[in-house]
Chains A and B, each alone.
Chain A
Amino acid sequence: MQTKRVTFGGYGVPALLVAPQLAVTLVFFIWPASQALYQSVLQQDPFGLKTEFVGLANFRRVLADPAYLDSFAITAVFSLVVAAIALGVALLLAAMADWVIRGATAYTTLLIWPYAVAPAIAGVLWWFLFHPTIGIFAYVLSRFGIAWNHLLDARQAFLLIVIAAAWKQVSYNFVFFLAGLQSIPRSLIEAAAIDGAGPVRRFRTIILPLIGPTTFFLLVVNIVYAFFDTFGIVHATTGGGPGTATTILVYKVFRDGFEALDLGGSAVQSVVLMAVVVALTLVQFRFIERRVHY
């Protein structure tokens, strides 16, 4: 690093400069997180009049609840499928973009738009497209003899949230993949071509290994996204139904806490989710430290 080091006398200016960031973190992250931790060891009566300390009883109850384990399984499958689709489609698009128009940005800009769409809006959009009576996709599918009704069919409902969630994430992945692909020197690909490797083999033996670190980074980001950022999509499309078929963990936190008013149980679920994200982040950091340099 050749950057010039700027020094401040005392702590006044630095403290002032980090204060806004600290305040935001405190108010929107540390405080709610500590509240969740606090709530998770309490039990409240249905009218909110009496609260008592119950230790780990909430944890025991939630972790033994088949409905919770079921939701965990749904979430795991959901996040893996979303990550796989979002990564696969993004890589395909990025490879094509890299191949056809190195450097042209119009196409790239278009593809980033979905990322700027709020989850709830994305949800409404896809809800609209797939609506059994007014949706254009549902109509087209019915033309092909497929009866689409995600309000009744659990598999279709699951598919709907997967599509909506993956669609929103594709653009983010695309940008990273495209940057990754463009950072591979062209002469490497040319050397491989001269060395007798066809396009598929080049992709598998040269390009994929070289964008491996990017792919791993995106995999973790996508799983975290599917775990935590998809509430709006579920809420706007399926509402967790039919039954609990699309009740992923973040949605269950909301349902149990704000609809069933089981604040203790809901807080426990939040704590578990926090643990998951911390674990994923740690894996990420360890891996990046070890593998990012060639």
Chain B
Amino acid sequence: MVEVALRNVTKVYPGGVTAVRDVSFTIPDGQFCVLVGPSGCGKSTLLRMVAGLETITGGEVALGSEVVNAREPADRDIAMVFQNYALYPHMSVYDNMAYGLRNRRVPKGEIDRRVREAAKTLEIAALLDRKPRALSGGQRQRVAMGRAIVRQPKAFLFDEPLSNLDAKLRVSMRVEIRKLQRAFATTSIYVTHDQLEAMTLADLLVVMNAGQVEQIGAPLDVYEKPASTFVAAFIGAPAMNLLAVTAAEAASMAPGRAVPSEGAFIGVRPDDLKLDGSHPGPPAGLALDLAVTAVERVGPESFVYGSPTVGRGEIIVRVPGTSAPALGDRIRALAAPDRLHLFSMAGWRLSA
């Protein structure tokens, strides 16, 4: 239960691959930090450096007031949940959970108390004598969680702990992990490439791209003010629509905002586009004439895919309910000027 700080952390693997480049951020005590980004962007590497499983090429990792760069994983007092759970196959569930406590010479009675308590919290009390091979995926996941919480560590680290579960279980475990973390108020770092997990779990969301931090913030801030086209496309599903426009077009759509002369990207979320067949279009803002190419009916909402009648690319519009237009229909999608995001041609957010 400490603050976790990363200062200019860099990792270069022996082969010369720079997996993490100059990453700095601080996770306040007790907060849930989610690292999110596409495959290969260095999330696991960063997490493993905090755990002590990878050496740190440059910069500092601090747990509380102490820089732990040179500390063995055993001496960092952190717990980690692995993607494949990494349960010891030759030990019972009880021994799996007790192992870390025995290594730290916790008295027997105390071990027993903590293991049984954790087992009760996680509803695996009936499984304590089983070997991991006799458990389902979800039960293994719980044991892995149990192994982490009995230790009462300074911080929890999770590396895609839910990615081996089926969709339903993933949702319920997600909720449960959040509840547990709140209950223990233990500083946590959680790695995922699932933006929904990231949005729902995080106090602090760190979006990574190619070894660097692209944006840090509260999930809704990141969602509402993405710092770059990368974040805009990565956070939110379906992804934000991005259109390359000239400076003049941008100025008419979003009046009063400074646009560089070479043009810009206009971004608009599928939720912020409204269908209106009759409306002539607002004086400012975005109006797109689309030919419907595909419709996905999810139930409470439908996603309409259309290609603009002028220009190129594909636009996604979210339509509430099931009253979506049919394939081949011509529709007009509108967005108010304050719902538009502006990015430079290099992909960075233009302020306001």
On A, residues with C-beta under 8 Å from B are 185, 187-188, 190-198, 201, 205-206, 209-210, 212, 294
Considering the complex, give the chain B residue whose CB is closest to the CB of A195. B100
- B positions within 8 Å CB-CB of A: 51-53, 72-74, 76, 78-80, 82, 84, 86, 88-90, 99-100, 103-104, 131, 133, 147, 151
Assess whether B86 is in contact with A191, with CB atoms less than 8 Å apart: yes
Given A191-B82, A198-B72: 18 more A-B contacts, CB < 8 Å: A185-B84, A188-B86, A188-B89, A190-B53, A191-B80, A192-B99, A193-B52, A194-B74, A194-B76, A194-B78, A194-B80, A195-B74, A195-B151, A197-B74, A201-B103, A205-B99, A209-B90, A294-B133
Q: How far is the CA of A294 from the CA of B104 in the complex (A)?
A: 27
B51: chain A residues within 8 A (beta carbon): 190, 194
Residues of A within 8 A of B80 (CB): 190-191, 194
Which of A190, A195, A196, A201: most chain B Cβ within 10 A? Answer: A195
Q: Once the chains bind, are B89 and A294 in contact (CB under 8 Å)?
A: yes
Give Cα distance in the complex from A62 to B90, angstroms. Answer: 46
Indicate if the CB atoms of A187 and B103 lie closer than 8 Å. no
CB pair A198 B74 closer than 8 Å:
yes
* Chain A, Cβ-Cβ closest to B76: A194
The chain A residue sitting closest to B104, CB to CB, is: A196
A194–chain B nearest beta-carbon distance, Å:
5
Q: Could you tell me if A196 and B86 are in contact, using CB atoms closer than 8 angstroms?
A: no
Chain B residue nearest to A191 in the complex (CB): B86
List the B side residues contacting A212 at CB < 8 Å: 90
A190 proximity list for chain B (CB < 8 A): 51, 53, 73, 80, 82, 86
Contact of A195 (CB < 8 Å), options: B84, B90, B103: B103
Given contacts A193-B73, A194-B78, contact A210 B90 (CB under 8 A): yes
In the complex formed, the residue of A with least CB distance to B83 is A187
Contacts A187-B82, A197-B74: A294 and B90 contacting too (C-beta < 8 A)?
yes
- Give every chain A residue within 8 A of B73 (Cβ-Cβ): 190, 193-194
Can you name the residue of chain B whose Cβ is closest to the Cβ of A206?
Answer: B88
Distance of A195 from chain B, by nearest CB (Å): 4
The 3 closest A-B pairs by CB, nearest first: A195-B100, A196-B103, A187-B86
A192 to B147, CA, bound (A): 11
Shortest beta-carbon distance from A257 to chain B in Å: 47
Residues of chain A lying within 8 A (CB to CB) of residue B133 = 294
Task: Identify the closest chain B residue to A205 (Cβ).
Answer: B99
User: In the complex, what distance in Å separates the CA atom of A273 from the CA atom of B148?
Assistant: 54
- Closest chain-A Cβ to B87's Cβ sits at a distance in Å of 8
* Assembled-state Cα–Cα distance A212/B89 (Å): 13
Query: In the bound complex, how far is the Cα of B72 from the Cα of A212, in angstroms?
Result: 28
In the bound complex, residues from chain A placing their C-beta under 8 Å from that of B78 are 194
Interchain CA distance A187-B100 in the complex, whole Å: 15
